[in-house]
Amino acid sequence: MSNNKNKKICFVIMGFGKKKDPETNRTIDLDESYKKIIRPAVEACNCRCIRADEITESGIIDRSMYALLYSADIVIADISTYNPNAMYELGVRHSMKKYATIIIKEGVVNNPFDISHVRMLSYSYLGNEISNIEANNKIIELKRLLNKVVLYPDVDSP
């Protein structure tokens, strides 16, 4: 088994818990998409997955978060519900790094103009949860994207 220190770091930008989607007025459990899609895909690519609520360092969490936005090999930004913090952090990442940022979102709805031209991976809830079939399909798609941005870095920042 490889050492955690040698693994590429994937920092995940997203809200936590259950949030209302302003476009559809549905409640989305962002923790479920993290646990059922994002984390399994990242770990299957032998990368270390970190979300802001998992930062265990003492001190000001913002410093660790900004350091990860800059230093992470890959960033996945789940912009479901257009969480203001997630959108801000995505903008910070785009201004710091030219590549290795993947945007995902629940549902296929209008996206903010500034990122409407950026390719996104979308996933869907079946009622109040993500089905196992949907999760497995999206893990495969996300793994493909993760491998692509690592092996063939290409500018994905606007």
Locate the domains of the chain by residue range.
Answer: 7-150
Distance CA 22, CA 26 (A): 8
pLDDT value, residue 10: 96
- Give Cβ neighbours of residue 82 (< 8 Å, ≥ 6 apart): 21, 22, 23, 112
| Contact present, 81 and 20 (Cβ < 8 Å) | yes
Burial of residue 36 (number of CB atoms within 10 Å: 0-12, 13-18, 19+): buried
The residue behind tokens 């998992």 is 54
CATH 3.30.565.60 is right for the domain spanning 7-150: no
pLDDT value, residue 86: 92
pLDDT value, residue 118: 65
Distance CA 86, CA 28 (A): 15
| Contact present, 82 and 15 (Cβ < 8 Å) | no
Tens digit of pLDDT at every position of the chain (158 positions): 456 678 999 999 999 999 988 878 888 899 999 999 999 999 999 999 999 888 766 655 667 888 999 999 999 999 998 889 999 999 999 999 888 999 999 986 666 655 655 678 889 988 778 999 999 999 999 999 999 988 887 766 76
Strand partners, 104: 78, 121
Distance CA 23, CA 34 (A): 21
pLDDT value, residue 156: 67
pLDDT value, residue 9: 95
Tokens of 30: 């962002």
pLDDT value, residue 110: 65
pLDDT value, residue 150: 85
The residue behind tokens 């693994």 is 7
pTM of the model: 0.89
